Every structure is written in C-alpha cells, then in structure tokens.
Amino acid sequence: MAKDGLVDKLRSLIRGSGERGALTPRLEEKLRAQLRECAEGQGGEVSARARAARLAETYAGLDDAGRRRFLKIIALEFGPDPEQVAGAHAAYQAAVGTPGQWNAESALRRAMRSSRIRILTQFNAIPQGVKFLVDLRADLLRFLEQDPDLAALDRELESRLSAWFDVGFLELHRLTWHSPAALLEKLIEYEAVHEIRSWTDLKNRLDSDRRLYAFFHPRMPDEPLIFVEVALTDHLAGNVQELLDEHAPVFDHRKADTAIFYSISNTQVGLRGVSFGNFLLKRVIDDLKRDFPRLSQFATLSPLPALAAWVRRNPAVLAEAGIELSLEALSTGTWAADKTLQRALRDPLQRLAARYLANAKQASGAPFDPVSRFHLGNGARVERLNYLADSSPKGFRQSFGMMVNYLYEFDDIERNLEAFASDGRIAMSAGVRRQARDK
C-alpha cells in the first residue's frame, strides 16, 4: 500500500468511519505473532514500520470487544519476565558496593523494561502514529473502568506520551479567522466550556478584540492539543453571555488593560494526565504582554463545573447557606425569571459558591472543583464571584448560573503557588473569604 493510501486509511479508521469487526480466534493468533515480532524487534527499520502499520490497521478495524482484547493481550502477555527481573535483582543486590554495581544496575533496568514499551514505541514511526497512540489511550481509559488488568499498560503508555508531549516539543500558534477551515471546524468540535453555536459565533471569538491560542505537537500539526480563548477588555468581566454576544460592538483592543481567559479546552482524551495547560497560560500571557504593553490585569471568567455535584453529595449545604429551593429547582434556572427570587437568592448563592471554593475537598485534600485545582495550582487567586453570570441551561445545570474570576497577580503567583502546594492554602480575595464565612 502506498504511503499516502496508508495515511488516509489509518486516518479514516482512527476516526471511526470504517466498518469494525470482531477479533476472531484465527485473527487473534495472527495478532499475537505480529506482536511477538514487534516485541523481538526482528528485521530493520523498514520491517518494523510495516509491522506497526499492519498492527495499527488491524486494531483500527476492530470493534470495542476486539480492541479491548487486543490491549489485554499486550498488557498481560508482554510485560517484564518475572524470572529475569528476579535474577537481575539478585545480581544487583550481590554487586552493591562493588565495581560491578553500575553494570548490574543497568542489567536490572533492562530486565524491568517490558516488551509493551517496544511495541508502543514502534507505532511512533508510522504515518499518523502519534495520533493513533493518543486515540488508542482514549480507548484504554474507557476499558480501564471495567478491566483493571489494563492498568499497567495505561501507566506505561501515559509515561511515554508524557515524554513525547513534553512542553519543550510543543508549538504555540495563534488561530485567526484566516486559519484553515478544517482547523476552525475542530475548534467548534472540541470547545468544551462554552459551545460554539455557529460560524458567526466563532468569527466573533476571533475578532480584533479577541485572541485564541493553541498548542500543537509537530507530529500532529492538524490537531490542537489544548486551546484558550481570550477577550481583551477594560474591566473584570462578570457575565459570559455579554462576553460572547455576537451583536455587541467590537471593543477597541488598543484601549484594553485586562485580558480575560474565558475558555480553556483540552481536546485529546488520550492525553489525560499529561499536563501542559499551565505552560499554555504562561506562554499566552507573555505573548499578550508583548503585543499589548498596556495590559495590567490577567484574569479568568471561569465556570464552577462541579458545584451542583457537590451539593448533590452534601444536600444540607443548601439550608446552611439560606437557600430554600431544591437542587432540582435551582438547576432548571426557571427561578431566574422571577425578580423577587433573583434578589432573594443573590447573597445565599454567592455564599454557597464561596463555601464550595473554600471548603469542598476531594479525599486527597485537593479542591473538589477541577477548574479551581487548575488555576490555584498555577498561583491564581479566587478574586470575585459572579451571580447569574452564565444563564445558559448548562450554566444553571452545573452551577446555578454562578461563575468566578481567578486573578493572576504576578507579584503573588509564586507565593500563592507555594502555599497551595505545601499545605493546600487557597488564595482568596477578602470579599470572597468574607462571603464564605457569612451566616
């Protein structure tokens, strides 16, 4: 098969447009033989590339049950040899303190290196190989929930992807309305915070008072890994519908003194656990400061995506905050049409959100809210709560319309980060902290 044909076929299969079949016993035995060839590294580079391409094509053509079996074979049958590891470990223990210690250590390291790594690494050489591995891990994460036997393979693949997607290899690009249409379509597809409703909506987010930046990997030039949307303003924005209003006049970006990060979307499920969002923000801030020297304030307008989930686990917090409506009633948002209820719920909902950000924790002690974990872990401060800031159905469903501004104050970032990392201390403005304590 010609190289271009293979690329097209793999791309089509990886995206799921091809028919998928079962892993028959005969095909399974053939698959095992191909995996053994990969693990043993038979032949030269051309042979390895061809073998990996055949394996990728086989995998991409399987249904879910077949893919799960494929991954389980790699996980269970191509790990380190226990006898070799035991022998190498005994030799290392005997060599400690002798001139042969370092050779014994090297031998132990080789013994512990599983054939799974050799198999995975060979996919790197084929067209679309890196994307194939990222999508393969997305499958692996789905199957892992019901099949703990896949955990070792997941850890090894995550480790390899972390190395291959090190931030030093990533490229930051600003995307504009003039970027390739296929790339703009992916922004619409991948936007995870505030749905892009139309091409007009997207064009508004790419206007002169907006910026959109994305990280790319050289081996995946057509796939943004993560992207951030920025609004240039002269105030701390507190309502996302106003921010995304397609009919609002375009702000003169030359007068901007504030950059609002209002959406950050990870696009590749298979890169879960591979962290580069913090580097994206730092790079974007540097880029904005260079282009707009007047910018003095960098903040977010962020959702509270797990607030309703926390209330569901702790229903007593509603009454404690002075809220008489049920979780279900709050989540519909219909109460917001009643001006009397609007006024009555302002302080209680802000109190609830402040206590959530200040006190809601995971079992590990980390903040319950994933967006909060991200920004606090990068040294931001919880600056201000915004009532009825997101009146979309999703906004009411996940946080009763509440949103929050996180502020990146450069003189405080390192101090905030160190306090959060060392003892979990959350940086908060005096106003939000007072709301968290209010009776």
Residues 244-291: tens digit of each pLDDT: 999 999 999 999 999 999 999 999 999 999 888 778 999 999 999 999
Q: What is the pLDDT of residue 114?
A: 86
Task: Please indicate whether residue 429 is annotated as part of the active site.
Answer: no
pLDDT at 16: 47
State the pLDDT at residue 343: 96
Percent share of the chain, pLDDT over 90: 76
- Annotated catalytic residue within 302, 331, 372, 399: 302
Tell me which of 416 and 126 has the higher pLDDT. Answer: 416
- What's the whole-number mean pLDDT along residues 42-52? 78
Q: How does residue 38 score in pLDDT terms, banded at 50, 70 and 90?
A: confident
pLDDT, one tens digit per residue, over 190-207 is 999 999 999 999 999 999
Whole-number Cα distances in Å, 190 to 247, 266, 318: 24, 8, 34
pLDDT grade for 188, boundaries at 50, 70 and 90 = very high
Provide the pLDDT for residue 49. Answer: 81
Instruction: State the CB neighbour count (10 A cutoff) for residue 190.
Output: 18
**What's the pLDDT score for residue 3?**
40
Whether 331 is catalytic is no
Q: Is the pLDDT of residue 6 over 60?
A: no
- pLDDT band of 7, cuts 50, 70, 90: very low
Other CB atoms within 10 A of residue 269 CB: 13
The dihedral region occupied by 183, where left means phi > 0, alpha psi between -120 and 50, and beta the remainder, is alpha
Query: Residue 19: what pLDDT?
Result: 61
Under the banding of pLDDT at 50, 70 and 90, the label for residue 2 is: very low
CA 43, 46, 51, 56 torsion-angle sign: positive
Which one is predicted more confidently, 269 or 48? 269
- Average pLDDT of the chain is 91
Collect all residues with Cβ–Cβ distance below 8 Å to 94 and sequence separation of at least 6.
Answer: 104
358 token code pair? 């200040």
> Residue 72: pLDDT above 80?
yes
Mean pLDDT confidence for 148-157: 94
Closest CA to 76 of 38, 115, 134, 111: 115
pLDDT of residue 415: 92
pLDDT of residue 4: 42
Q: Is residue 234 helix, strand or coil?
A: coil
- When pLDDT is averaged across residues 31-45 and rounded to a whole number, the result is 82
Domains in the chain: ranges and CATH: 3-79+114-164 (1.20.140.90), 168-300 (3.40.630.150), 302-437 (3.40.630.150)
Q: Which of 194, 217, 253, 375 is catalytic?
A: 375
Stretch 346-369: mean pLDDT: 96
